[in-house]
């Protein structure tokens, strides 16, 4: 959906728990291109198998506005993302995460929490914690193709990856950490 209107969308107290996808599935998909963020407040995602949240622009040929999502005061716990990441960002995605916790999220690929893929996606994370998350490459983030992930006042404790520690960066991806 692309709109010139000044629409504000707030979703509060949304909860997903005990959901299993056989071959991966989308818990939420965001494709809107609005002037304002869609705000998810107090989102609870617990005990999920192979589920993910997708954020990308619907109309990439006319990318005048980004797909803006803000997750705040939320909890993500005991999630096995399978061969996916919990949050998958593609072209036109702009994500803010505030005051949220990510605990025991795992992926069999790259970046258990965020896969920032094709074409300059942007993620800003504020005052959030990441504990006991695991992945093969980059326990928390996989950042590619001129995408950027910025962390401000985040805690990262006891996360594990076989390759590349907390972050795996390739193809001009960029990670910034501000204590």
- Residue 33 is classified by DSSP as B
pLDDT classification of 75: cutoffs 50, 70, 90: very high
- pTM value is 0.94
Give the DSSP per-residue string, 46-69: EEEEEEEEEE--S-GGG-SS-EEE
Angle (nearest 5°) at CA 113 between 159 and 111: 75
Distance, CA of 3 to CA of 176 (rounded, Å): 32
pLDDT at 6: 73
Between CA 26 and CA 111, with CA 101 as vertex, the angle to 5 degrees is 55
Q: Report the pLDDT value the prediction gives residue 4, as an integer from 0 to 100.
A: 53
- Answer yes or no: is pLDDT of 106 > 70: yes
* Residues linked to residue 88 through DSSP beta bridges, in sequence order: 54, 115
| pLDDT tens digits for range 19-62 | 999 988 999 999 888 888 999 999 999 999 999 999 998 876 66
**How high does pLDDT run on average in the chain?**
92
Domain assignments of the chain as residue spans, ordered by start: 9-178
């Amino acid at each position: 959906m692309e709109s010139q209107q000044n629409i504000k969308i707030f979703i509060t107290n949304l909860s997903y728990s005990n959901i299993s996808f056989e071959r991966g599935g989308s818990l939420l998909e965001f494709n809107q291109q609005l002037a304002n963020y869609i705000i998810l407040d107090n989102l609870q995602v617990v005990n999920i198998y192979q589920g993910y949240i997708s954020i990308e622009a619907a109309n990439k040929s006319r990318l005048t506005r980004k797909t803006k999502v803000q997750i705040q005061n939320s909890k993500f716990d005991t999630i096995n993302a399978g061969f996916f990441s919990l949050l998958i960002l593609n072209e036109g995605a702009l994500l803010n995460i505030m005051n949220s916790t990510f605990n025991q999220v795992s992926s069999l690929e790259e970046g258990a929490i965020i896969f920032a893929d094709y074409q300059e996606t942007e993620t800003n994370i504020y005052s959030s914690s990441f504990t006991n998350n695991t992945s093969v490459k980059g326990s928390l983030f996989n950042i590619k193709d001129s995408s950027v992930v910025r962390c401000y006042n985040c805690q990262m404790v006891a996360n594990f990856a076989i390759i590349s520690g907390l972050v795996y960066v390739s193809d001009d991806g960029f990670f910034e950490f501000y204590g």
